[in-house]
Amino acid sequence: MSSTETVLPKLLVVEPDFMLRSIIIGVVREMGLAQPQEALSVERAEQALAEGHFDAVLIALNEDGATVKLLERLRGGHFVCPAETLVAVTAQHCDADMALRLRELDVRRLLLKPFKVKGVIETIGGLFTAPAATA
Amino acid sequence: MRPAPALQVRRMRPIKNLLYASLQAPPSDMTPAHQPPNEPARLQALRALLILDTPPEERFDRIVAFAASEFDMPIALVSLVDGHRQWFKSRVGLADCETPRDVSFCAHTILASALFIVEDALLDSRFADNPLVTGAPNIRFYAGAPLHAPGGERVGTLCLLDQRPRTLDAIERAILGTLCRLVEEQLAHPVAS
């Protein structure tokens, strides 16, 4: 890599659906938005966060609460990955209590399914450009 | 202008009859795509995939359905460009499983590696009087990404069609390109993964 080459931010994509995950990863890579790494489950994500640094995480909200627990551990500084890492969440459903909890966990964006991949890509781009956002 | 051949009509259900008659209508001043310079090798690569005239498969249908939904397109296809026809391995929004190659937009797409986009076919002299434009399915917008066989030959397309003029922005083009690579992965692996 040359000294003038831009270093892309690192993005962890946690999404159980293979096709959706593959498309997001492919588009992020093709557009040069970030260096994406994929994880198909919260367990795999935990391992990735424990081992490396990420600038942002896009994670699907797990119905059994595992995603929230993971974010609590991230914000609590339990991983190698910095506690202040940018986070966006995708979800099938989200009630007011969950939205409040995600806000407390400093989730920058919440995307409710069904959504367009284009919206996800715009969200990822926005994570790296906008200093503040709403859940 | 070439002379108009006789209209071919098959025994089909009435609605399909109408579409088929349109698909078989004679080309007039439109510009059929020329053959790629590697046409024999391209056809050999296509046929080596052993996919022509095979039944629909969920692994392709999922991607095509996703494309139609993501782009809000009435028609999305995995089209394979054979010698004299384009045959659809997967299709949303189109009843017929093939059309003649000389009226095919996809025959143009396989001439280059880039996306091939016609934002308004009525404003493009190559397609303005194409029977697929002047009649059913009344194509106005076309976007095709060339599908490569494992050896690099361009054997077909993943394409999107609409009945109104459209454009694709940079993100949408990247999504179409990524979906195309997913189809290519499936083409390279005959057993569903």
Q: Between A and B, how many CB-CB pairs are < 8 A?
A: 37
B173: which 2 tokens?
Answer: 């083009």
Beta-carbon separation of B170 and A23 below 8 A: no
What mean pLDDT comes out for the span B151-175? 98
Do A118 and B62 count as a contact with CB atoms less than 8 A apart?
Answer: no
How far apart CA B129 and CA B109 sit, in angstroms, is 18
Q: What is the largest CA-CA distance in chain B?
A: 48
pLDDT tens digits, one per residue of B36-62: 999 999 999 999 999 999 999 999 999
Angle value at C-alpha A53, between A51 and A55, nearest 5 degrees: 150
The tens digit of pLDDT for each residue in B80-90 reads 999 999 999 99
CA atoms B160, B49, B151, B105: torsion sign: negative
Q: What is the pLDDT of residues A75-108, one digit of tens each?
A: 999 999 999 999 999 999 999 999 999 999 999 9
Give the pLDDT band of residue A6 (cuts 50, 70, 90). Answer: confident
What pLDDT score does B9 carry?
Answer: 35
Token look-up 């400093």 returns: A106
Q: What is the pLDDT of residues B90-114, one digit of tens each?
A: 999 999 999 999 999 999 999 999 9
Chain A positions with Cβ closer than 8 Å to B? 19, 22-23, 26-27, 30-31, 116-118, 121-122
- Domains of chain B (ranges; CATH) run 36-188 (3.30.450.40)
Q: Which residues of B touch A23 (CB under 8 A)?
A: 66, 175, 178-179, 182
> Would you give the distance in Å from CA A102 to the centre of its chain?
13
For B11-15, what is the mean pLDDT? 35
Chain A: nearest CA to B132, how far in angstroms?
29
Of B63, B174, B182, the CB nearest to A30: B174
| Secondary structure, 3-state, chain B | CCCCCCCCCCCCCHHHHHHHHHHCCCCCCCCCCCCCCCHHHHHHHHHHCCCCCCCCCHHHHHHHHHHHHHHCCCEEEEEEECCCEEEEEEEECCCCCEEEHHHCCHHHHCCCCCCEEECCHHHCCCCCCCHHHHCCCCCCEEEEEEEECCCCCEEEEEEEEECCCCCCCHHHHHHHHHHHHHHHHHHHCCCCC
